[in-house]
Amino acid sequence: MIRYRNGTTVEVLNTDAEGRLILADGLVAASEEKPAAIVDAATLTGAAVVALGNSDSFTAQVQAAADAAGEPVWPLPLYDAYARDLESKVADLKNVGGRPAGTIVAALFLRRFVGDGIPWAHLDIAGPAFGDHDDGELSAGGTGFGVRTLIELLRTFKRPGVMLPS
């Protein structure tokens, strides 16, 4: 069992899902800084190329940035019904759920470590992080997927109620 700095305990049932355990601690630390928003990008599940988040308006900003950057993302819903798969008898939650909705369950796990009221999006980049062959402007190998989206998001980010200089 792991206890995080925010007090949340996690029952570790699968050590192959170690990335989310480390990322969770990073999300707690980032949340303590009270940021305007958090975006994480990680190769967590390999199940999909997705953007998941806890704020419809922020998810829309991430989607728009990805569209402008030419990096396809597909937002998946964070159905709370799948959170039952993370329930533990010995800790606040488990680090993995069942087979159904693995990407959504992984994001629901991460969401537990983002501070209240902080817009957040997770980019699961496992699928597009590596290319087997040259494809357009990408060469075979590491693609850097998500970098252009994050740059575009930083360039165009709109915090509710705050006007940023252009």
> In this predicted model, what pLDDT tens digit does every residue of 79-120 receive, in sequence order?
999 999 999 999 999 999 877 788 889 999 999 999 999 999
Predicted model pTM? 0.84
Distance (Å, rounded) from C-alpha 114 to C-alpha 130? 28
Q: Pick the residue with more confidence: 47 or 3?
A: 3
Mean pLDDT of the chain: 87
**pLDDT at position 150, please?**
94
The domains found in the chain, sorted by start residue, are 2-156 (3.40.630.10)
**pLDDT at position 46, please?**
61
Mean local confidence (pLDDT), 128-142? 80
Q: The tokens of 20 are what? A: 């989310």
